[in-house]
Amino acid sequence: MIDENETLSGQEAENTQGEHPNNQTMESLLESESLSVELPQVGEIRKGMIASIGASQILISVGAKSEGVVAGRELEQLTAEERAELKVGQEVSVFVLNPEDQNGNVVLSFKRAQEEMSWENVEKMITEESVIDTKIIGFNKGGLIVAVGNLRGFVPSSQISATRRAQSSGDTPEQRWQKMVGQAISVRIIEVDRERRRLILTERSTNTESRSSMKDRVISELEEGKTYTGKVTSLAEFGAFVNINGADGLVHLSELSWDRLAHPKDLLEVGQEVKVKVINIDREKKRIGLSMRALQDDPWKNRVEKFSVGQLVEGMITRLTKFGAFARLEGDIEGLIHISELSENRVEHPKEVLREGETKTLRVIRIDGEQHRIGLSLRKVDSAAFADKDFKMLTQEFGGQDEEIVDNPVIPADPEIPSVSDSEEEKKAE
């Protein structure tokens, strides 16, 4: 006979077992849905759909858990014409100012998105040497201000065409430039500094076709490996453009100098005459690769001459990373201690063995002159494999007197330990 309580317990257990998979499935779905949402990041530009337009805010769906909002000062920056063009359901680009404010909203900006995309566009234009047809929108004492997308570019008076300068007269900027506001102008970008919000332009009197044909001619005459004299025509964060015989070539930031540079302006200025070496010619894409560094002596090779594989050196730990540690050696040369070279025991992270700023004795295990890399080891400092090397280095330090060092080591006298004669004198005194 089956007990009624046992039957009820069995039913409850069955119900519980039946509910558990469903609950687990629901939790899994919620978790996977949460993981599939890519949360916005500060500074990110996203595509979104306008959900609603109100008097005090505009809501935009950007694929986050909550809708983004354009409100307050960001909304006030929009002109009446710009607001009139916005429609519900329209796809727009927005800049993420804050992934989550105190109300849980994603704070967005139309203007910043337009501005960032404009900077990306002008960086592309300077690479392609594009000629921009635009108009003059203002001036200052130094030259003209023109519109380049949503940005304002500056044309210094030295970069204004001779024809336009001939039309200017007067002692004040107003007298010289005011009448030119609103006029069409063709310009080319010569300097882009996004961080300083600096966009410098030059007015071009030649058309695109004549410049293109000139570049074709110059490319056909240039030879890789040869040195030419050119003039700096424009600067960008990634390098400098140098004109050789009528065609511009790029000196990448890494090819300007053996020293590390933050920006080409730290070394060059527009109009400066420089010597460059042609290191690459892409005739199909009409690109000329140039180098100033190739004409300079490599200081790294001179500094590394004092080191040899197997040598013991003193190095200050400068950086710790997942894969190892960097150490600065004599001559301001930096070497890498790979994580496998830190200890005979397994090391999960270099911080278990080293600290930034401390000085360690290290072993040079590899020198790569082409890649400018030195491999170092901490675990091989006391390696028997380098015993002969260490012995030779030691004897060299003592002038090569290896037998004297081994057989007759010089032990300095300790002033606190009495000599034999001193002990004898003490006994006589007693």
- CB 228 within 8 Å of CB 244: yes
Gap between the Cα atoms of 265 and 246, Å rounded: 22
Gap between the Cα atoms of 254 and 236, Å rounded: 13
- Is the whole model's pTM more than 0.85, yes or no? no
- pLDDT at residue 428, rounded to an integer: 44
- CB 136 within 8 Å of CB 183: yes
Architecture of domain 45-110: Beta Barrel (2.40)
As annotated, the residues of the chain forming the CATH 2.40.50.140 domain(s) are 45-110, 129-203, 219-295, 304-388
Going 408 to 412 to 416 to 419, the CA torsion angle's sign is: positive
- CB 78 within 8 Å of CB 112: no
pLDDT tens across the length of the chain (430 residues): 444 444 444 444 444 444 444 444 544 444 444 444 567 788 788 888 888 888 888 988 887 666 788 888 888 888 888 888 888 888 888 888 888 887 778 888 888 888 888 888 888 888 877 888 899 999 998 899 999 988 999 999 888 887 787 677 778 889 889 989 999 898 989 888 888 888 999 986 445 545 666 777 788 888 899 999 998 988 888 999 998 887 889 999 999 998 888 899 999 988 899 999 999 998 888 889 999 999 998 888 878 888 888 889 999 999 999 999 999 998 788 999 999 999 989 999 999 999 999 999 999 999 987 788 899 999 988 877 676 666 666 666 555 544 444 444 443 444 443 443 444 444 444 4
Nearest to 40 by CA among 135, 86, 85, 105: 105
What are the backbone angles phi and psi of residue 394, rounded to the nearest 5°?
-65, -45
Write down the H helix ranges in 179-236: 208-221
- pLDDT at residue 399, rounded to an integer: 55
CA angle, residues 268, 202, 146, in degrees to nearest 5: 125
Scanning the structure block, which residue is given the tokens 């000062």?
Answer: 73
The CATH number of the structural domain formed by 219-295 is 2.40.50.140
Longest dimension (CA), the chain: 118
- Residues 6+ away with beta carbon under 8 Å from 401: 395
Q: Which helix (H) or strand (E) holds 12?
A: helix 4-36
Q: Which helix (H) or strand (E) holds 140?
A: strand 131-140
- CB 378 within 8 Å of CB 343: yes
Scanning the structure block, which residue is given the tokens 């001559």?
Answer: 331
- CB 150 within 8 Å of CB 112: no
Gap between the Cα atoms of 119 and 193, Å rounded: 9
Q: Which helix (H) or strand (E) holds 429?
A: helix 420-429
- From the candidate CATH numbers 1.10.287.3510, 3.40.50.300, 2.30.29.30, 2.40.50.140, the one assigned to the domain spanning 129-203: 2.40.50.140
Gap between the Cα atoms of 209 and 212, Å rounded: 5
Coil, helix or strand at residue 90: coil
Please count the CA atoms within 13 angstroms of the CA of 316 that sit on its side-chain side.
7
- CB 310 within 8 Å of CB 281: no
Cβ count within 10 A of residue 370:
5
Write down the H helix ranges in 70-183: 73-76, 80-85, 110-128, 162-167, 173-177
Please count the CA atoms within 13 angstroms of the CA of 261 that sit on its side-chain side.
20
Q: In a 10 Å sphere around its CB, with 0-12 CB exposed, 13-18 middle and 19+ buried, how is residue 74 labelled?
A: buried
Coil, helix or strand at residue 92: strand
- pLDDT at residue 424, rounded to an integer: 47
The number of helices, as runs of H, and strands, as runs of E, in the chain is 11, 20
CA angle, residues 214, 220, 223, in degrees to nearest 5: 125
- From the candidate CATH numbers 2.40.50.140, 1.10.150.20, 2.60.40.10, 3.30.1480.10, the one assigned to the domain spanning 304-388: 2.40.50.140
Tokens at residue 195, please?
């961080």
- pLDDT at residue 390, rounded to an integer: 64
Q: Cα dist. 332→40, 299, 302, 312, 316 in Å? A: 41, 11, 12, 16, 10
